[in-house]
Structure 1
Amino acid sequence: MWSLNKVSVSEFPKCLVSYGGPQSNSMLALAAITNYKNRELAEEEKEGTTRMNNNGSRNNNDNDNDNDNDNDNISISTPIRFVYYTKKLPRFLKNQPNGNLFRALSLGMELKELSREEYSNLFEHRSEDNDGGGGREGKRPPMGLMAPAPNSLYVPQGGAFSSALVGVNRLSEEIYTYWLEHGNDRPLTIFVPGGTCTTALCLHHGLKRLSLLADREDDDNGDYSSSAKSMMDIEVVVVPCVGDAAYARKQMMSLSTQIGAKADDIPAILQPEPEEQENLTSSSRRKYFTFGKPNKEILETFQELQKENNLLVDLLYGAPSFSIMFRHWDEDMKKNKDKPSLSPDLSFDPNQPLSSGREIMYVHSGGLEGITSQLLRYQHIGLMKIKDVQLPGRRNKKKGTEQTNT
Structure 2
Amino acid sequence: MLLFSPITPFEFNNQVFYVKRDDLLDKNFNGNKARKFYYFLKRDFPNIKKVISFGSNQSNAMYSLSVLAKIKGWEFIYYTNHISSYLKNNPQGNYLYALKNGMKIIECGLSNEEMRNFVLNLRDKNTLIIEEGGRVKESEEGIKNLADEIKEFAKKHNLKIFLPSGTGATAFFLAKNLDIEVITTPCVGDKEYLLKQLFLLGEIPYNLTVLSPRKKFIFGKLYKELYLLWKELKLSGIEFDLLYDPIGWDTIKHYNLKNILYIHQGGLNGNESLIKRYKYKFNF
TM-score, normalising length from structure 2?
A: 0.81
Structure 1 residue corresponding to 2:275, chosen from 375, 379, 384: 375
| Structure 1 residues 200 and 263: CA distance shift in structure 2, 3 A | closer
Distance (whole Å) between structure 2 residues aligned to residue 313 and residue 27 of structure 1:
18
- CA–CA separation in structure 1 for the residues paired with 2:204 and 2:153: 29
Which sections of structure 2, spanning at least 5 residues, go unmatched?
1-36
2:114 is the alignment partner of 1:125: yes
**Change over 3 Å in CA distance of 1:239–1:263 after alignment to 2:** closer
Shift of 1:376: 1.5
Counterpart CA distance in 2 for 1:373 and 1:97 is 9
Q: Which amino acid in structure 1 is aligned with residue 43 of structure 2?
A: V
Aligned to 1:94: 88
**Map of 1:30 onto structure 2:** 65
- Residue deviations 1:147-182 (CA, integer Å, cap 9, x gap): 5x75101111001111111111111111114446xx
Aligned to 1:245: 191
Aligned to 1:175: 150
Secondary structure of the corresponding residue to residue 271 of structure 2 = helix
Q: Give the alignment partner of residue 270 of structure 1, picking from 191, 194, 211.
A: 211
For each residue in 1:351-398, what CA deviation from the matched residue of structure 2 results, as whole angstroms up to 9, or x when unmatched? Answer: xxx2xxx521111122101111011221232x243xxxxxxxxxxxxx
1:151 alignment counterpart = 126
Report the RMSD for the aligned CA atoms in angstroms: 2.1
The residue aligned with 2:24 is none
1:299 match? 227
Residues in 2 aligned to 1:33 and 1:84: alpha-carbon distance in whole angstroms? 13
Separation in 2, partners of 1:199, 1:26: 12
Tell me the distance in 1 between the aligned counterparts of 2:265 and 2:106: 25
CA distance in 2: counterparts of 1:265 and 1:11, whole angstroms:
38
**In structure 2, what residue type is equivalent to 1:304?**
E
The percent identity for this pair of structures is 34
- Give the Å deviation of 1:141: 4.2
Q: 2:164 aligns with which of 186, 193, 217?
A: 193
Q: Does 1:2 align with 2:33?
A: no
User: 1:394 maps to what in 2?
Assistant: none
Q: Give the superposition deviation at 1:250.
A: 1.9
| Structure 2 CA distance for aligned equivalents of residues 368 and 290 of structure 1 | 20
Distance 2:139 2:283 in 1: 37
User: C-alpha deviations, 1:288-326, integer Å up to 9, x for none?
Assistant: 31111100111111111112x122111111112112222
Deviation >2 Å, runs of 4+? 123-127, 140-143, 177-180, 262-266
| 1:110 Cα deviation from its structure 2 partner | 1.1
Q: Is the 8 A contact 1:242 1:291 kept in 2?
A: yes
2:48 aligns to what SS in structure 1? coil
The reply to whether residue 206 of structure 1 matches residue 177 of structure 2 is yes
Higher strand share: 2
* Displacement after TM superposition at 1:254 (Å): 2.6
Aligned with 1:17: secondary structure?
strand
Output one character per residue of 1:107-137: Cα deviation in whole Å (capped at 9) or x when no partner: 11111122x3xx13xx53368xx5xxxxxxx
Amino acid at match of 1:372: E
**1:365 and 2:249 matched:** no
The aligned length equals 248
Computing the radius of gyration over CA atoms, which structure comes out larger, 1 or 2?
1
Q: Distance in 2 between matches of 1:178 and 1:34?
A: 34
SS of 1:125's partner is helix
CA, structure 1 residues 202+94, in 2 after alignment: closer, same or farther (shift >3 Å)? Answer: same
1:137 match: none
Task: Give the AA of the match of 2:83.
Answer: L
Alignment of 1:292-371 (within 5 A): 292-307=220-235, 309-329=236-256, 354=257, 359-371=259-271
Q: Secondary structure at the match of 2:66?
A: helix
Cα distance, 1:168–1:12 mapped onto 2, change above 3 Å: farther
What one-letter code is carried by the residue in structure 2 that aligns with 1:196? T
Gaps of 5+ in 1: 39-79, 131-139, 209-233, 274-286, 330-353, 386-406
CA distance in 1, matches of 2:133, 2:158: 30
- On the 8 A contact 1:204/1:235 being kept in 2, the answer is yes
Contact 1:253 1:265 in 2 (8 A): no
Matching residue's letter, 2:168: C
SS of alignment partner, residue 172 of structure 2: helix
Q: Supply the distance in 1 between the matched residues of 2:54 and 2:212 (Cα, whole angstroms).
A: 28
CA contact (8 A) 1:176 1:207 kept: yes
Deviation per CA, 1:3-48, whole angstroms, max 9, x where unpaired?
A: 111112x53621100001111011011100111122xxxxxxxxxx
Distance 2:248 2:204 in 1: 25
Identify the residue that residue 107 of structure 1 maps to in structure 2. Answer: 101
Determine the structure 1 residue equivalent to 2:4.
Answer: none
Q: 1:264 to 1:177 in 2, by over 3 A?
A: closer
Relative distance call for 1:104 and 1:177 in structure 2 (3 A) is same
Displacement of 1:263 after TM fit?
A: 4.5
